[in-house]
Amino acid sequence: MLIFKTLIVFACIISVSAIIPAIIFGLIETATFVGESAYQIVRKSVGASGNQKYVRIQNTMGKNVVATVRCASAPNAWGSTLFYCDLETNNGKSARWDAYTDDKRGDKNWFLRGDGIYLGNADGSDLKKEKDL
C-alpha cells in the first residue's frame, strides 16, 4: 500500500501581478489564484518506490477571477492514494474533483477554465474536459 505525503509546496508565479499564498496544514494545502498564476504541488511517495508525483493546477479563468483551491491527500477505501481538490471562485462557481488517484498514474496538469476543469499537457495542449463548472 502506498501512502503519499506532501513534502514540498511550490508556488509558481506566471504573471507579475499574481499573489499566491500557499499554506500547509499537515496534508492540506490552500492556494489563491489571481489571473494567470499557477500552483504546483510536489508529492513524494513514502512507500518503497520513492517515485515523485506532480499535480499542477493553473488558473486560466481570466484576470478578474480569483480561484481558491483546497487539496487533501488520503488513502481511499481500497488503500490506494486519493488526492482531491475543492475549487471556489469569486464569481460563484465551485467544484470538487479527484486530482490524482493511483489508477491514473503520471503527472497531472489541470487547467481551470470558465466552463470547466480540464486535464492536458503542461503547455496547455490536448485539453480534455473532466468536470463542468
Higher confidence at residue 5 or residue 63? 63
Q: What is the pTM of this model?
A: 0.62
Distance of CA 14 to the CA centre of its chain: 16
Half-sphere exposure of 62 (CA within 13 A, CB side): 7
pLDDT of 105 higher than 90: no
Q: What is the pLDDT of residue 75?
A: 72
Q: What is the pLDDT of residue 38?
A: 40
Beta-strand (E) ranges in 13-93? Answer: 22-25, 28-34, 38-45, 52-59, 66-75, 81-89
Q: pLDDT tens-digit profile of 22-47?
A: 333 333 444 444 443 344 433 333 33
Q: What is the pLDDT of residue 18?
A: 30
Task: Report how far residue 23's alpha carbon sits from residue 30's, in angstroms, rounded to the nearest whole number.
Answer: 6
pLDDT of 131 higher than 50: yes
pLDDT of 97 higher than 50: yes
Q: What is the pLDDT of residue 6?
A: 27
- Structural contact between residues 32 and 19, judged by C-beta atoms closer than 8 angstroms: yes
Q: pLDDT tens-digit profile of 47-89?
A: 334 556 678 889 889 888 999 999 888 776 777 777 889 999 9
The segment with the largest mean pLDDT, out of 43-57, 93-107, 119-133, is 119-133
pLDDT of 127 higher than 90: yes
